[in-house]
Amino acid sequence: MVIGGLQKFSLIDYPHKISAIIFTIGCNFRCPFCHNPELVNPKLYPEKIPEKDVFEFLKNRRKKLDAVVITGGEPSLHKDLYQFISKIKSMGFLVKLDTNGTNPHILSKLIKDNLLDYLAMDIKGSLDKYEEIAGIKVNLENIKESVKIILDIDKSQGTKDILNKKTNLEYLNKKVNANTKVNADIKVNINKKIQYEFRTTVLPKFHDKNEIHKIGKLVSGAKLFILQKFYPTKTLDLEFLKESQFSNNQMLKFKRILENYVQKCLIRWK
């Protein structure tokens, strides 16, 4: 992994857990409002932090930290992400991964192999506006596939809930092993509860009521959606420091729209 930052303590980045945050270098998007330009623009890349230093730190924080958040940049660009997360999991930490959803295959593999505890995917806008907002050509099929993979977490967990109500889990697993009524994929998924969120940073330049409806449709049925307010304090494109932001009242209106599509919508004000 190419690591550009390590925040040793956070109470807000993994819901209800004490976490450390690892920032990976490099991103395949160029969202002009990005607030981590040093991880996106190669000219601004910070000095790399050796992986061994990160693991040394984590070793000393066992039992003091609950979780590790891996963010960027875009962590899924790194070929060794799977191994990296496996190692962190083997140390006993919960793992949250932040992603822009451009690499559905790695998400699918990490979910199937029970290596994630929390997954946060950015939704930049409606599919119609994705490329404009991401500032680059985007494979929209990959975005749709990632959304589907994440929404399917609920289906498999829904299966778990239903099955748990009807029967004892040990008995069920015997049935799974005997390959009777439940297939092998379900067997993997019933062992694990993965939390997730979709989230969008909204700003008047890109988003309006119509756009929010389209985003809602894209992630329809999702358990949790987070609306993030844009703050023009640090941006990848310096022109965006002049961009306006939505009023709190408008944010609340967007929240009400999204509540028609998702189970829960929250606003992250900061």
- Six token digits for residue 208: 């309006």
Of 29, 118, 230, 246, which one interacts with ligand SF4 (CB under 6 A)?
A: 29
Whichever of 36 and 126 has its CB closer to ligand SF4, that residue is 36
Q: Where are the beta strands (DSSP E) in the chain?
A: 3-10, 19-24, 67-71, 94-99, 118-122, 195-202, 225-229, 265-268
The alpha carbon torsion through 262, 14, 231, 121 (nearest 10 deg) reads -50
Beta-carbon contacts of residue 246 (< 8 Å; ≥ 6 apart): 202, 203, 204, 207, 229, 230, 254
CA dist 245 and 247 (Å) reads 7
Residue 230 to residue 33: CA distance in whole angstroms? 8
Q: Is 27 in the site for ligand SF4 (CB under 6 A)?
A: yes
Answer yes or no whether residue 107 interacts with ligand SF4 by CB under 6 A: no
Q: Which of 100, 103, 126, 189 binds ligand SF4 (CB under 6 A)?
A: 100
Applying CB under 6 A, which of residues 74, 117, 197, 211 lies at the interface with ligand SF4? Answer: 74
Q: Is 189 in the site for ligand SF4 (CB under 6 A)?
A: no
Does position 125 interact with ligand SF4 (CB under 6 A)? The reply is no
Among 72, 75, 104, 125, binds ligand SF4 (CB under 6 A): 72
Using CB under 6 A, which of 19, 24, 36, 200 touches ligand SF4?
Answer: 36
Which C-beta is closer to ligand SF4: that of 91 or that of 136? 136
Task: Quote the tokens at residue 164.
Answer: 């748990």
What residue type is assigned to position 129 of the chain?
A: K
Residue nearest to ligand SF4 (CB): 34
Q: Is 40 in the site for ligand SF4 (CB under 6 A)?
A: yes
Q: Which residues bind ligand SF4 (CB under 6 A)?
A: 27, 29-31, 34, 36, 40, 72-74, 100, 122
